[in-house]
Each structure stands twice: as C-alpha cells, then as structure tokens.
Chain A
Amino acid sequence: QSTLTQPPSVSGSPGQSVSISCTGTSGDVGYYNRVSWYQQPPGTAPKLILYDVTDRPSGVPDRFSGSKSGNTASLTISGLQAEDESDYYCGSYTSRGTWVFGGGTKLTVL
C-alpha cells in the first residue's frame, strides 16, 4: 500500500507557527474527511491529536489545528513550544476500506 506524502522535517522557533502537509490521492485524503494526525515522541506510542481533519480529542491544546484542500491535508501548530518537538504522522481511511499513514515528519523546535 502506498503511503501518504509528508515532508521529512520541519522546524520553527518558540512562539512561531509551523505547518506540516500530507498529500494523498482521491482514494484516501480526497475521498473522505477522515484524516487524522498523531504525535509520537521517540520511543513512545503514537498519540492522537486531530481526527476527522479538524477535530481535537479532549486535552489537546487548541494550538493544534487541521485543514484539508483536495488531496492534501495540513496540520498547523501555532505558538510553538519546546515540548512540541516530536515526530508527526498523518493517517487516512481509504475508499478500499483500509487505512494508510504518511511517512512521518520530524519537528524540531529551534
């Protein structure tokens, strides 16, 4: 199965905003509004931070937001904090009834 395309790395300074893109196809990201984002610090399990493109689970700060246009979804982190340094993965349900993830993006807080 193909993976969704994410930039390998992004960086930003504390207080700044950064965005991470996630590009798929009309059979996954573009098919449903069932895109999710996960935060995974090294050596830990993924943690859900956004689902259904824009929704946040309870406890996730509103600094984390999501959007989607066509076959590309985006995660934006505003007011960057040192604790946001992590790997981030997007995921999507597909028209085949399977699930697919992006290759991951390493966020560095400068």
Chain B
Amino acid sequence: QVQLVESGGGVVQPRGSLRVSCVASGFTFSSFGMHWVRQAPGKGLEWVALIRYDGTKKQYADSVKGRFTISRDNSKNTLYLQMDSLRAEDSAIYFCAKSPRYYYDSSGHFDHWGQGTLVTVSS
C-alpha cells in the first residue's frame, strides 16, 4: 500500500534554513506528481508546492516563492523541500501528498498523505 514518511523537521531560528524529506513506497514514485502541504498549529491546510513526476515543472504558493525549493530524487523515491529565509509564520506541520494520476499535474485532489513533520521557527 502507499506509504509516505516525512522527516527532517525541527526547531530553526528565523532567517535560518531547513530541509525536510518524504520517502515514498508502495507505488511507482517516478510516475506521479508530488506536493507539499502545510498546517500551522490549530489552523487550516495551505498548499505549498508541486513538482512534476520528472521534476521538469515546479510550482509554488506566493507565500513561499523565492524562499522554498521543491525537488525529488526518483532513484531514491524521495521528495524534498528546502526551506530558506524561514519566518515565524512558516511554523507548521509539513505534509507530503501524492497526485492521483500518472503523468498529470492538474488533478484537483491529493489521494495519499504522509503523517507530517513539524517545523518550528523560533529564536
């Protein structure tokens, strides 16, 4: 069955950097687009970024554009989110989520989610 396991969260100072990872199993990782979605404590969901199945297209929310970079290593079945210039408002649980269709970026939903990794930006 599909499994997505995030790691790499922790406490980082404002203006610092952190990279979180998501290891995928149970499906052909290299055939599906992948997303990062975050949730601040006690708040709603916020889409962060998409990467196409082959890494050739990346899209970002305005709130993170220019500071965050999504990437993937299909040989390791792993998705990454490099977060730079972190702010207090970036504190959240970061979930990786899978697109539902092969080789297609524009599905409206996410069919599987990881359990998330908590990132706290604080001095």
Contact = CB atoms under 8 A, between A and B. Distances in A.
Interface of A: 1, 3, 32-36, 38, 44-48, 51-52, 57, 89, 91-93, 97-104
Given A89-B44, A99-B35, A1 B61 contact: yes
A38 B109 CA distance: 9
Contact of B109 (A3, A51, A102): A51
Given A34-B106, A44-B115, A101-B47, 8 more contacts: A1-B46, A32-B108, A45-B95, A45-B114, A45-B115, A48-B112, A57-B111, A91-B108
Nearest to A50: B109
A52 B45 CA distance: 18
B100 interface: yes
Interface residues of B, number: 26
Contacts, number: 75
Contacts of A101: 37, 44-47
Contact of B113 (A32, A47, A98): A47
Given A91-B45, A101-B47, A52 B61 contact: no
A46 B114 contact: no
Q: Which of B44, B45, B105, B112 has the most CB of A within 10 A?
A: B45
For the residues of B in contact with A, the DSSP-based class is loop
Contacts of B111: 48, 51, 57
The 4 closest A-B pairs by CB, nearest first: A34-B108, A36-B109, A93-B108, A99-B47
Interface of B: 35, 37, 43-47, 50, 59, 61-63, 95, 100, 105-116
A104 B116 CA distance: 18
B45 A48 contact: no
Contacts of B105: 97
A48 B109 contact: yes
